[in-house]
C-alpha cells in the first residue's frame, strides 16, 4: 500500500482507462510526482499530450509528464487500440490544450531513474501500459529494484484467455521482452493485476451517469470518454458494463481496495515469435524466497466501482 504522502511514478499509455486511473489517483489524494508515457493504446507522445490535458483539467498542470519510448515495430504486433480508446486515445473527447508550455523534462526513463535516486527506497511505481520504459530503466540502472518500494503492474492473463490473442493480454503483448525483464527482476514488492480480476470489476451505466451528471465539466469529460469505452465492450457486456483494468490496479496500489487473494508466484512470459507470444504463465511459488516473490491479484474484499467513481466525483471542486 502506498502511503498518502509516498512518492509515486505512474507509467501509462493514456487511453480511456488510464485517464480514469489518473483521475482516481488525483481524487484519492495520491497525485503522481511524475508521469511517464509509453506507446500502447496510443503513441508515447500522444499519451503525454492526453496526460497533460487531463492533469490541467483538474488543476494539476504542475505535475511533470515525460515522454517515454515507442516499441520497435519490427519486434511485435502494431501498437494502438483505437477500437477501445478512439483515434485520440480518449474516446474522441476534445480536451483544452495546456495553456502554458510543459516544463522541460528528460525522457521518461531518465526521469524515472532520477526520481528513484531522489526517493531511494520510498518510490512506488504503477504501470498501466506496456513495460518498455521500465525494462529500459532496468537495463540502464540494474539496481533500480533496490531503490523502489513497490511496483504494481496492470497486465497479463494468469488463468484466463488473453484479450488480444487467445493467450496474450494487450500490455504484455505490447512488449513481451520488457515484461519478461520486469518480472524476473528482484523487486521488494511486485503486484501483478491481470485481466483475471479486472474483468470481474465492472463499471455500470449508473456509475458512468454519476460522472456525466456531475456539476463539474471536468468530471463530465471523464464520463464522456467512458461512452466510447462502454460501446467498445458492447459485444461482451451489451454496452451496459465495462471493466476497470487500470483504475483497479491504481486502487489496489494505494490500498483503496483490499486484496484477499494474492498468492506468491513466479511469472514467465513467452517471448518467442509464435502464436503464444506474450503469454503470461503464473505458477505458485513455495520457495525459500517467497517473501520477495511477485504476487498476483486474484480476489478482493469489495468491488471497486464505488471507490473509483467516488474519488473521481470528488474532483468536482477542482475542475
Contact between 17 and 41 (Cβ < 8 Å): no
The pLDDT of residue 81 is 67
Question: In the numeric block, which cell numbers belong to residue 193?
Answer: 493485476
To the nearest 10 degrees (0 to 180), the angle between helices 132-140 and 176-183 is: 60
Q: How many domains does the chain have?
A: 1
63-100 per-position pLDDT tens digit? 999 999 987 655 555 566 667 766 887 988 889 888 87
Distance CA 241, CA 232 (A): 10
Q: 245 catalytic, yes or no?
A: yes
Angle at 154 between CA 153 and CA 159, to 5 degrees: 110
Going by C-alpha positions, the residue among 145, 105, 121, 130 that lies closest to residue 11 is 130
Residue 1 within any structural domain of the chain: no
Q: Which domain holds residue 232?
A: 8-314
Return the C-alpha cell found at 203: 463499471
Q: Is 85 one of the annotated active-site residues of the chain?
A: no
* Residues near 87 by beta carbon (within 8 Å), at least 6 away in sequence: none
Report pLDDT for 80. Answer: 66
pLDDT in tens, 154-187: 999 999 999 999 999 999 999 999 999 999 999 9
**Phi/psi of residue 289, each to 5°?**
-100, 30
Tell me the C-alpha distance between 59 and 37, whole Å.
20
Q: What is this structure's pTM?
A: 0.95
210 lies in some domain: yes
319 part of a folded domain: no
Domain membership flag for residue 267 = yes
The one catalytic residue in 30, 85, 119, 245 is 245
Q: In the chain, which stretches have pLDDT less than 70?
A: 72-82, 85-86, 104, 287-290, 318-319
Instruction: Say which residues have a Cβ less than 8 Å from residue 1's Cβ, sequence separation at least 6.
Output: 253, 254, 255
In a domain, 68, yes or no: yes
Average pLDDT, the chain: 92
CA 137 – CA 141 distance, rounded (Å): 6
Could you tell me if residue 261 is inside a domain? yes
Residue that is written with C-alpha cell 485520440 in the block:
88
Q: What is the pLDDT of residue 179?
A: 97
Is the distance from CB of 242 to CB of 15 less than 8 angstroms?
no
Asked whether residue 144 is assigned to any structural domain, the reply reads yes
Cβ-contact 143, 175 below 8 angstroms: no
Which CATH number is 208's domain given? 3.90.245.10
Catalytic residue selected from 13, 17, 175, 196: 13
Any domain includes 2: no
Amino acid at each position: 500500500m502506498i502511503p498518502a504522502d509516498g512518492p509515486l511514478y505512474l507509467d501509462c499509455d493514456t487511453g480511456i482507462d488510464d485517464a480514469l486511473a489518473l483521475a482516481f489517483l488525483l481524487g484519492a489524494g495520491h497525485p503522481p510526482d511524475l508521469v511517464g508515457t509509453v506507446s500502447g493504446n496510443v503513441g508515447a507522445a500522444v499519451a503525454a499530450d492526453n496526460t497533460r490535458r487531463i492533469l490541467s483539467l483538474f488543476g494539476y498542470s504542475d505535475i511533470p509528464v515525460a515522454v517515454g519510448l515507442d516499441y520497435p515495430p519490427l519486434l511485435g504486433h502494431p501498437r494502438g487500440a483505437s477500437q477501445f480508446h478512439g483515434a485520440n486515445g480518449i474516446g474522441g473527447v476534445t480536451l483544452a490544450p495546456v495553456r502554458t508550455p510543459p516544463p522541460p523534462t528528460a525522457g521518461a526513463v531518465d526521469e524515472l531513474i532520477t526520481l528513484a535516486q531522489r526517493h531511494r527506497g520510498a518510490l512506488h511505481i504503477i504501470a498501466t501500459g506496456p513495460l518498455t520504459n521500465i525494462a529500459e530503466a532496468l537495463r540502464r540502472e540494474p539496481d533500480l529494484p533496490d531503490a523502489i518500494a513497490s511496483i504494481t503492474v496492470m497486465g497479463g492473463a494468469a488463468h484466463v484467455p488473453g484479450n488480444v490473442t487467445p493467450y496474450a493480454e494487450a500490455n504484455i503483448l505490447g512488449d513481451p521482452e520488457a515484461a519478461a525483464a520486469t518480472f524476473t527482476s528482484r523487486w521488494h514488492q511486485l503486484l501483478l493485476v491481470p485481466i483475471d480480476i479486472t474483468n470481474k470489476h465492472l463499471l455500470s451505466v449508473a456509475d458512468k451517469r454519476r460522472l456525466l451528471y456531475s456539476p463539474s465539466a471536468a468530471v463530465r469529460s471523464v464520463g464522456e470518454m467512458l461512452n466510447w469505452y462502454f460501446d467498445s465492450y458492447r459485444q461482451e457486456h451489451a454496452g451496459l458494463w465495462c471493466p476497470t483494468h487500470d483504475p483497479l490496479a491504481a486502487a489496489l496500489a494505494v490500498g483503496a481496495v483490499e486484496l484477499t487473494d494474492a498468492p506468491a508466484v513466479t511469472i514467465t512470459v513467452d517471448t518467442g515469435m509464435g502464436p503464444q507470444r506474450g503469454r503470461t504463465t503464473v505458477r505458485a511459488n513455495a520457495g525459500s524466497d517467497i517473501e520477495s516473490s511477485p504476487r498476483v491479484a486474484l480476489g478482493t474484499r469489495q468491488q471497486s466501482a464505488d471507490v473509483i467513481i467516488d474519488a473521481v466525483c470528488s474532483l468536482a471542486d477542482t475542475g
